[in-house]
Amino acid sequence: MSKRGGASRRSFEKQPCPFSLRCHLMETPVAAAPAGDFFPSFLLLGFATLVAALLGAAHRLGLFYQLMHKVDKASIRHGGENVAAVLRAHGVRFLFTLVGGHISPLLVACEKLGIRVVDTRHEVTAVFAADAVARLTGTVGVAAVTAGPGLTNTVTAVKNAQIAQSPVLLLGGAASTLLQNRGALQAIDQMSLFRPLCKFCASVQRVREIIPTLRAAMAAAQSGTPGPVFVELPIDVLYPYFMVQKEMVSAKPPKGLVGQGVSWYLENYLANLFAGAWEPQPEGPLPLDIPQASPQQVQRCVEILSRAKRPLVLLGSQALLPPTPSDKLRVAVETLGVPCFLGGMARGLLGRSHPLHIRQNRSAALKKADVVVLAGTVCDFRLSYGRVLSRSSKIIIVNRNRKEMLMNSDMFWKPQVAVQGDVGSFVVKLAQGLQGQTWASDWAEELRQADRQKEQTFREKASMPVAEHLNPVRVLQLVEETLPDNSILVVDGGDFVGTAAHLVQPRGPLRWLDPGAFGTLGVGAGFALGAKLCQPDAEVWCLFGDGAFGYSLIEFDTFVRHKIPVMALIGNDAGWTQISREQVPCLGSNVACGLAYTGYHKAAMGLGAQGLLLSRESEDQVVKVLHEAQQQCQDGHPVVVNILIGRTDFRDGSIAV
């Protein structure tokens, strides 16, 4: 046995090394290394791997960062102060919220820095209010809500802001960074929920990240196509060190090796959370990226428009975005001298009765125009997906968003020139390029004559009797006559608001707030709240359908508590009329469309507001009651005017889907 074994060993020793065999086959002169040299090399490689792993672990644990940056364990400062500092540096004046323990530090810090904290009765109202601030001021509107259900309650308003292209910053509380995915209270995957809704989403993991993350979010909200952004702020990055330490690290000395290891890990985690937290960082705004039309594109559009005989301009909300102020845009439109339709936030740009502003018969006008400039206007359902545009018209479209700009262009229409750039700046440059150009007056007069004929039919419908209560067309005509020049109109509803869009004119730019293309109900209270805070000297008139008012009623408690005097006019026809006017004739049933002639004015009075009623018995008192409501607002009271109305055929044929 030993002999065979010895022979076997000897034969093994005589075998060539695999490395030397490979070298021989390759006919290289490299000498074979002794077999024993392999093991020191292997050990060296293993040692290097171990060192690299340890260095990587040290980096991940933040040990190197802690060597260079202080952890002030005695400080009572908290991350909410960093949030407030960035908001103040960006000129934020209002923070809308519904309180929750996750976000309390940032609310308190904002209050201390002079940012007005306004708490609502529903989180969705807070975001709608921030949206209104963004639209009216051209800055970022800010809302802060607590984790879990607090954030899920905002989804509709955030989506509305996305579609309306409003720069809104949503701050959301969250469970502790250490307890993510461990079943903490109100803990869900919030980032996955908001990524499809927001231009920018980030979850702050350390206190020192708050300032740069918020600055990046604010810039993203306003750059390119504006829109909402979301920053998640876990509870342990907002509260002070001593409070987080109390919750994270046991006060009793650990027992055993495992206990000591866990304790060390938690202490280090806590130190890394606060390392460098209070070191000075720039807090102000970052540069914005706003696309601009090239000189060549502007010149091409100037040439096309200069040859037009029947030009037409459609201005949408994007035209009112910064950096072009509304007064400069108005001068440019007047200089251009082209008849125009105004939509969205551009409504009111030319005042109440400007000769260039055409209000009715848009589809007919588009069919006759030979050049159409779609300035921030999209070929979606509002333009019948582009089908209202004539195939023989030359279409110039300008929009910050390329996808929006070319929507449905492969189906129903084709642009002659498509310009991805800022709308307001483009219109100003277009007017400069066409300085001195004039168009035949008969085209504008033809459009104005069609306007006058349509308005005559409105007067006729206003004089028609209704089966019960008041004629809504007549009521809205009286609202139009009573509306003061400093008013802001907030509209929230279906049939009543659709009628008002034809009859009630905003008195100036940025004085009309509607949900936008999403068609959201429930925007009224939030929009009114934001509008009145931005412009306290303006009268805020809210036109509600009775269905839509159900979303906003409880916020009259908010208006009373915060002394926000706004006026709500409810067109109360006891139903979801915009739906029933089609559902009943098409499907033969009014199911789910019926409401009641509820005493909404009494409900508002129960919340501390003033309430007034208009019905057939007070038909000759409409203007008097409107003046009374105005006086109540001037005295500091929010007011609800419950207007009982009948039904007319004013909007027959309008679609509800």
- Residue 325 has phi, psi (to 5 degrees) of -70, 155
Average pLDDT over residues 135-149: 97
Residue 618, pLDDT > 80, answer yes
Render pLDDT for 338-364 as a digit per residue (tens, 0 to 9).
Answer: 999 999 999 999 998 899 999 999 999
Residue 11, pLDDT > 90, answer no
Where residue 49 falls among pLDDT bands split at 50, 70, 90?
A: confident
Average pLDDT over residues 44-55: 73
25-34, 437-446, 580-589: lowest mean pLDDT where?
A: 25-34
CB burial readout 589-614, b (16+ within 10 A) else e: eeeebeeebbbbbebbeebebbbbbb
In the three-class reduction of DSSP (H, G, I as helix; E, B as strand; rest coil), residue 409 is classed as coil
- Which pLDDT does position 260 carry in this prediction? 80
Where residue 19 falls among pLDDT bands split at 50, 70, 90?
A: very low
Given the structure tokens 């308003």, which residue do they identify? 157
- Which pLDDT does position 396 carry in this prediction? 97
> How far apart are the C-alpha atoms of 396 and 356, rounded to whole Å?
19
Render pLDDT for 298-311 as a digit per residue (tens, 0 to 9).
Answer: 999 999 999 999 99
Render pLDDT for 54-110 as a digit per residue (tens, 0 to 9).
Answer: 667 766 777 666 667 778 899 999 999 999 999 999 999 999 999 999 999 999 999
- Which pLDDT does position 653 carry in this prediction? 66
- Which pLDDT does position 3 carry in this prediction? 40
- Residue 176 has phi, psi (to 5 degrees) of -50, 145
**DSSP strand pairing (394-399 vs 116-119):** unpaired
Render pLDDT for 542-563 as a digit per residue (tens, 0 to 9).
Answer: 999 999 999 999 999 999 999 9
Where residue 331 falls among pLDDT bands split at 50, 70, 90?
A: very high
Render pLDDT for 458-477 as a digit per residue (tens, 0 to 9).
Answer: 999 998 888 889 999 999 99
Render pLDDT for 170-229 as a digit per residue (tens, 0 to 9).
Answer: 999 999 988 778 888 788 899 999 999 999 999 999 999 999 999 999 999 999 999 999
> How far apart are the C-alpha atoms of 49 and 548, rounded to whole Å?
65
Where residue 290 falls among pLDDT bands split at 50, 70, 90?
A: very high
Render pLDDT for 238-274 as a digit per residue (tens, 0 to 9).
Answer: 999 999 999 888 878 888 888 888 888 888 889 999 9
- Residue 468 identity (one-letter amino acid): E
Q: What DSSP string describes 57-85? A: HHHHTTHHHHHHS---TT----HHHHHHH
- Which pLDDT does position 35 carry in this prediction? 55
- Which pLDDT does position 22 carry in this prediction? 36
What are the residues facing 95 on neighbouring strands? 117, 142
> How far apart are the C-alpha atoms of 161 and 156, rounded to whole Å?
9
Give the residue from 412, 206, 409, 437 showing the smallest Cα distance to 338. Answer: 437
- Which pLDDT does position 64 carry in this prediction? 61
Cβ of 498: how many Cβ atoms within 10 Å?
17
- Which pLDDT does position 253 carry in this prediction? 83
Share of the chain above pLDDT 90, in %: 78
Torsion sign (Cα): 543, 548, 550, 551:
negative
- Sheet arrangement for strand 116-119: 116-119, 94-98, 141-145, 168-174, 229-234, 200-203
* Average pLDDT score over the chain: 90
